[in-house]
Chains A and B, each alone.
Chain A
Amino acid sequence: MGGWIMLNLVTHYQQWLAQKIPADVLSPLRSDAMEAFAATGFPTHKTENWRYLRLTGLREQAFEVMPPSYLDEAVLAPLLLADCYHIVCLNGFLMPKYSQLPHGVTLNNLRSQLTDPAIQALIHQSDLSSSLVALNTALFQEGLVIDVKDKLDKPIQCLFLTDDLGAHCTSQQRHVLRLNVDAAAIIIAEHISLTEQVFFTNSVWHIELAERANGTYYQLLTDNAKAIHIDHCLLNQQARSVYHAYGFLNGGALVRTDLQQAFLGEHASCTVKALTLASGQQQVDQHVLVRHCVPQCESKQCFKGLSTNQARLILNAKVIVDQQAQKTAAQQQLQHLLLSPKAEIYSKPELEIYANDVKCAHGATIGQLSDAALFYLKSRGIDDARAVLINAFMQELLDLLKWPDLKARISSLFSVDA
């Protein structure tokens, strides 16, 4: 039965490619990608990298192409952060009318850039052994190409909205973010649902940092409780570039994020920090791979995860230090709180070191709130001791949100019923 459904689903997406994707320069790659997807279908627990994630929601429904829609300004206005530049996408489609950027930034639609060899080269880096990346490669149509040439004075808020027309549909998005030599930008990528229905976002990002570029990327996933969100990011860093990835994962029924980073030039640094709260029946799966291919680079990872109710939280954080990557400094810190008896956490820190002159450290903890600390706070008259301790656990990462209205919005999503 399962096989029959899968076969039908594969046929569904094959027909989509055949009938709805116009022939373009990528057609040969797209058909290879579809072949790769058809060979495996969606990953199951037998696929090591996906073993704890139950993708039932993806296997039981043939999602349709997400249609463009109309954006109500009254809905949009409160979501726009003050003191930011904006890029707004609805159902995966760029809304140029609401997108406002300074001179130092060029924004293009990916469709118009496919003949650019540099763009083609990036898209050919897609890892087709991941069936979700393969599906995206076969079917993506829309996407942003953001090129930053200067040091920006304000962050760019990228809003990704999905409305009722997107219900039971999927958007396969492909985005490119490039920071030129010496450029600096803060990107706040925020996913917000304007519908209560299920939808499936499958996005792939290519992020390229040239020499001495400085990029900060906030990923705020706050989709509705039924949404399925798969996000794959390929990040390449040239010499002396600095990258900060800050993740805040809260919404969605099924969330999977992959960050695949590589240091390609020396004296670069990469910091990944993420706060994740899985509640209800949610499954949230984060995979991070940092690869030290060259000497003298520094990576730091700090994850804080909370799982409550019957939720399942999965984290795989891996650092590879290649043989030639001497003088590497790598740190990993994974901290988790289990807040209810049926909540689950699967946490796996990994360090693979092939060089001999490196400083690497990692630590992982999974624990419950301390009874002693709870009693201590209560004995001082504190009514909501549990909430105080949970907030204390999260505060360090919430403090990374430096914009008061954004911090208030995200902090309220991360409140746990005490």
Chain B
Amino acid sequence: MLTIKDLHAAVDNKAILQGLNLTIHPGEVHAIMGPNGSGKSTLGNVLAGRDGYDISGTVTYQHQDLLSLAPEVRAQAGLFLAFQYPIEIPGVSNIYLLKAALNAKRKAQGLPEVDAMDFLNSVKEKIKAVDLDQDFLYRSVNEGFSGGEKKRNELLQMLILEPSMIILDETDSGLDIDALKVVADGVNSLRSPERSFMVITHYQRLLDYIVPDFVHVLANGKIVASGGKELALKLEAQGYGWLDNA
């Protein structure tokens, strides 16, 4: 699904990612944990195509050179970044964005535009699953949403776009336990043998709900330790300090 080799990223000559290697196969859930400033969010942003980074290395996504693709082409090819801080876009309604995003993906796949009635019915069903009121469809994207509502809205986009590779950037930040369960249930409902996840998180808590197949520890822009889900528990118990001595 996704193969990252010797990935470096810098901003204003400050190195953030320094030779990161990672392979994710279809159906796998990989957790990326690490202390603040280790480069977790940069990794998500670089994969999604945010500009402003000096990048070297290679990333192969579904046999394509990911780094050569524009961010919108990456999204159309099924890569999805759930933002840590989803952006408010006044004047663009949620339903417009959902439909335009879905149609952009369908167009890239050579499919016709989605039927308006079918789309509306499917959206109404999925917005129930994320526990948001239907009014949110007609409000501007994320404008005036609470932190929890923004994260549920990201989940709604995922449910509609059905991406192949989902990157969750600190999805648990700012969520109370009930909202966390809703989001985790939604993510778990998307788990399938064809779909992969990269779950970026600072705390182990989220991983109680979205149970990973692999846990990687990111420090100083590199993966310094990898293991199963028990690695997350060790981090929770001992903090990140032991890594310095490892």
Contacts and interface: CB of A to CB of B under 8 A. Distances in A.
Interface of A: 370, 372-373, 375-383, 385, 388-389, 391-393, 395-396
Given A372-B87, A392-B89, A392-B92, A378 B49 contact: yes
| Those 8 A-B pairs whose CB atoms lie nearest each other, nearest first | A392-B91, A381-B75, A381-B104, A376-B87, A378-B71, A380-B101, A378-B72, A381-B76
B89 A380 contact: no
B89 A377 contact: yes
A293 B89 CA distance: 40
A381 B83 CA distance: 14
A390 B143 CA distance: 17
> A interface, by DSSP: helix, strand, loop or mixed?
helix
A382 B72 contact: yes
A380 B72 CA distance: 6
Contacts of B141: 376
A380 B48 CA distance: 10
B92 A375 contact: no
Given A375-B50, A379-B48, A385 B87 contact: no
Contacts of B100: 380, 382, 388
Interface in B71-95: 71-72, 74-76, 80-81, 83, 86-92
B176 to A, nearest CB: 24
Nearest to B87: A376
B157 interface: yes
A393 B87 CA distance: 16
B105 interface: yes
Contacts of B105: 381
A382 B97 contact: yes
Contact of B89 (A378, A389, A396): A389
B83 A376 contact: yes
B205 to A, nearest CB: 26
B92 A379 contact: no
A393 B92 CA distance: 9
17 contacts: A370-B87, A373-B89, A375-B71, A376-B83, A376-B86, A378-B72, A379-B71, A379-B81, A380-B104, A380-B157, A381-B161, A382-B101, A383-B104, A389-B92, A391-B91, A392-B89, A392-B90
B22 interface: no
Contacts of A382: 72, 97, 100-101, 104
Contacts of B97: 377, 380, 382
Given A382-B101, A392-B89, 17 more contacts: A370-B87, A372-B87, A376-B83, A376-B141, A377-B92, A378-B70, A379-B48, A379-B71, A379-B72, A379-B74, A379-B75, A380-B97, A380-B100, A381-B75, A381-B104, A382-B100, A389-B92
A18 to B, nearest CB: 55
A380 B81 CA distance: 8
A166 B221 CA distance: 69
A383 B105 CA distance: 10
Contact of B91 (A372, A381, A383, A395): A395
A332 B103 CA distance: 39
A118 to B, nearest CB: 45
A310 B55 CA distance: 34
Contact of A376 (B80, B89, B108): B89
A375 B169 CA distance: 15
Contacts of A383: 72, 104
Interface string B97-126: 100110011001000000000000000000
Contacts of A396: 91
Contacts of B91: 389, 391-393, 395-396
A389 B89 CA distance: 8
Nearest to A390: B91
A393 B141 CA distance: 13
A395 B90 CA distance: 11
A258 to B, nearest CB: 29
A381 B78 CA distance: 9
Nearest to B142: A376
Contacts of A379: 48-50, 71-72, 74-75, 80-81, 83
A46 B55 CA distance: 52
